[in-house]
Amino acid sequence: MKQPLRLLVVDDDRVIRRLWQIVAQESGLEVLEAGDPEHARKLLESMTPTVIVLDVVFPEDTGLHFLQELRHSDSWKTIPVIICSAIAEREIVLSFAREGICHYLLKPFALEEARERLREVLRLRGLLPEPSSEQNSVDAEQQDTAHPPAPDP
């Protein structure tokens, strides 16, 4: 039996967890939520998610410490991780990049941006088909009508 696709969201903000739940369910993923890395560790003992969305700052721990634990674990080191944080300091972003994250998404984020990041990770893992060229042209048309070009002066 094929394993279900699962997203583990590790964030102390309930609203952010709910937004990721909406995004994940639209892509057919089960969603597991953890308010901190400690709770996430307990969840990881009983299942392996397809993707993890991870915040950077927690009252008792850091996302970087948790990510380093993941990367040093034989069981979890290949799980793709998307960082979702309001922190955009260059050194912090680079420290996460050195640990092999897939994306760094800044809060606040648009649902469509989160949706695309998640789908991109799933496509790279071969878990979602590549969008057809027909779908790409429909998406481009929708973007053009959503953000019409500015008139020439």
Alpha carbons 47 and 15: distance in angstroms, whole number: 24
pTM reported for the whole predicted model? 0.83
If DSSP codes are grouped into helix, strand and coil, which group holds residue 60? Answer: coil
- Domains of the chain by residue range: 6-146
> pLDDT, tens digit, for every residue of 81-136?
999 999 999 999 999 999 999 999 999 999 999 999 999 999 999 988 877 655 55
- Correct CATH for 6-146 of 3.40.50.720, 1.10.10.10, 3.40.50.2300, 3.90.180.10: 3.40.50.2300
Closest of 113, 2, 4 to residue 53, by C-alpha = 113
What's the pLDDT score for residue 152?
A: 44
pLDDT tens, 138-152?
454 444 434 444 444
* Cα of 74 vs its chain's centroid, Å: 21
Nearest Cα neighbor of 34 from 19, 48, 44 is 44
State which amino acid sits at residue 103: H
